[in-house]
């Protein structure tokens, strides 16, 4: 306490001496300048404190924008990958569709060719049948033969007056045109062992009159057994 009292006494003496040397007016000016500086510093501190807070908010906002941009970039990257995958699938499907279209076109062309071949064969077969029908009168007059057209464009040949004991007894065979356009005997009554040989020969020579005549001779020979 003595030291404090001593210090206060020294301060009073110093202040009294200071006032006597510099004068009250200068002291007041110094104090006013000090207060003005304090106010200016306080205002400036408040201003910069506000600026710092705004800067912090701005930094937080920028960071938020950065995070949002990163998220959007990530989503865009994912969408681009999905788009690339979809494009790849579409490209593959387009290739498969082209292959399928080409295959269908090939099948159509092959079918058209087959239909043309079938049509040509059908036309040839019908022409042969027509020629046989035109020969009907000749066969009936010279060989006592009756020719009938039956189902599926087949012709039935019926011979009579072969068996002397029974002139009305029928000897017959059925003829058709196969897919290759050749003559083919589908039935023969009574059966002849040589019918396959006659059939092969008429295919080689295309001499149908001789074919019919040979079958009639075979039926005649069979009637004498």
Map out the domains of the chain as residue ranges: 77-142, 144-224
Q: Is the pTM of the predicted complex or chain greater than 0.75?
A: no
Buried b (16+ CB within 10 A) or exposed e, 12-32: eeeeeeeeeeeeeeeeeeeee
Res 24: pLDDT:
63
Other Cβ atoms within 10 Å of 131 Cβ, number:
10
Per-residue pLDDT tens digits of the chain, which is 225 residues long: 678 888 888 888 887 877 777 666 676 777 777 777 778 777 777 887 888 888 888 888 888 888 888 888 888 888 888 888 888 888 888 888 888 888 888 888 888 888 777 677 677 767 766 776 666 666 666 667 888 888 877 999 999 989 888 989 999 999 998 888 899 999 999 999 999 999 999 999 999 989 999 999 999 999 887
Do 223 and 216 touch, CB atoms closer than 8 A? no
pLDDT at 188: 96
154 φ/ψ sector (left φ>0, alpha ψ -120 to 50, else beta): beta
Q: Which fold has domain 144-224?
A: Copper Amine Oxidase; Chain A, domain 1 (3.30.457)
165 secondary structure, DSSP code: S
| CA dihedral sign, ordered 67, 68, 69, 70 | positive
């Amino acid at each position: 306490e003595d030291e404090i009292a001593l210090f206060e006494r020294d301060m009073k003496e110093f202040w009294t001496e200071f006032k006597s040397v510099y004068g009250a007016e200068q002291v007041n000016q110094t104090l006013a300048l000090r207060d003005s500086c304090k106010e200016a510093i306080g205002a400036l501190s408040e201003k910069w404190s506000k600026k710092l807070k705004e800067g912090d908010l701005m930094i937080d906002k920028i960071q938020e924008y950065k995070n949002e941009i990163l998220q959007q970039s990530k989503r865009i990257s994912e969408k681009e990958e999905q788009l690339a995958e979809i494009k790849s699938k579409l490209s593959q499907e387009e290739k498969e569709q082209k292959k399928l279209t080409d295959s269908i076109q090939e099948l159509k062309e092959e079918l058209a060719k087959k239909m043309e071949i079938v049509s040509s064969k059908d036309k040839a077969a019908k022409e042969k049948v027509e020629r046989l029908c035109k020969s009907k009168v000749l066969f009936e007059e010279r060989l006592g033969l009756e020719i009938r057209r039956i189902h599926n464009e087949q012709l039935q040949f019926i011979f009579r007056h072969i068996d002397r004991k029974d002139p009305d007894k029928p000897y017959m065979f059925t003829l058709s045109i196969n897919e290759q356009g050749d003559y083919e005997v589908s039935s023969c009554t009574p059966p002849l062992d040589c019918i396959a040989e006659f059939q092969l020969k008429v295919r080689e020579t295309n001499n149908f009159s001789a074919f019919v005549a040979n079958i009639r001779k075979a039926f005649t020979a069979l009637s004498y057994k």
